[in-house]
């Protein structure tokens, strides 16, 4: 199937809900019909852990791939895949390992300041490297057992979609 394509899926009961059905919405032993439109194919390849020797005192933003979609504005809700690591390359979190994107609002304090500032202007379909000084990350308190106090962070972020 290609972008813009439509496919009708016919799911027999033994591959659907079977004899159990799904409450009042799907009766027992129902054949399911789905019309599927492929709107967009998005590259979600897992990035390599970036090699970073140091993080400065200011946020550093580098577009590894400039997307061709809309640009993020403050207040937008975005869906992203990301990899977060320490400067030594130790990965502390990645959405790819969970198998689903992370969705959040940008520029309103829902995420660390490094993301609030570093995602603004990023275009859909892009991949961006963020080198976040500790004061724009978790500062003096750190976060959990993986991120100590005053620890700078490195992120690779793929912007999948801006939801507005």
Assess whether 106 carries a catalytic annotation: no
Q: Please identify which of the residues 49, 92, 102, 135 carries the catalytic annotation.
A: 92
Q: Does the annotation count 112 as an active-site position?
A: yes
Q: Is 92 a catalytic residue?
A: yes
**Quick check: is 17 catalytic?**
no
How far, in Å, CA of 27 to CA of 23, rounded?
7
Catalytic residue among 17, 147, 155, 162: 155
Catalytic: which of 17, 106, 112, 119? Answer: 112
Active-site residue (options: 76, 82, 158, 162): 82
76: annotated active-site residue: no
Contacts of 98 (CB under 8 A, 6+ apart): none
Q: Do residues 80 and 157 lie in contact, with contact meaning Cβ atoms separated by under 8 Å? A: yes
Give CA–CA dist 132/113, Å, rounded. 9
Q: Which of 17, 76, 138, 147 is catalytic?
A: 138
Report the alpha-carbon distance of residue 106 to residue 77 in Å, rounded. Answer: 6
Which residues are catalytic, by number? 82, 92-93, 112, 138, 155
């Amino acid at each position: 199937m290609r972008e813009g394509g439509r496919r009708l899926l016919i799911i027999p009961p033994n591959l659907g809900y079977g004899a159990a059905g799904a409450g009042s919405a799907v009766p027992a032993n129902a054949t399911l019909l789905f019309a599927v439109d492929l709107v967009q194919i998005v590259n979600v390849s897992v990035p390599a852990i970036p090699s970073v020797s140091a993080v400065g005192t200011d946020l550093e933003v580098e577009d590894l791939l400039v997307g061709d979609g809309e640009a993020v504005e403050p207040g937008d809700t975005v869906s992203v895949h990301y990899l977060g690591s320490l400067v030594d390359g130790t990965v502390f979190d990645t959405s790819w390992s969970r198998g689903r994107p992370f969705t959040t609002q940008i520029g309103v304090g829902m995420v660390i300041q490094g993301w609030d500032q570093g995602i603004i202007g990023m275009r859909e379909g892009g991949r961006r490297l963020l080198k976040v000084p500790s004061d724009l990350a978790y500062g003096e308190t750190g976060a959990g057992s993986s991120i100590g106090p005053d620890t700078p962070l490195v992120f690779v972020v793929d912007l999948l979609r801006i939801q507005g």
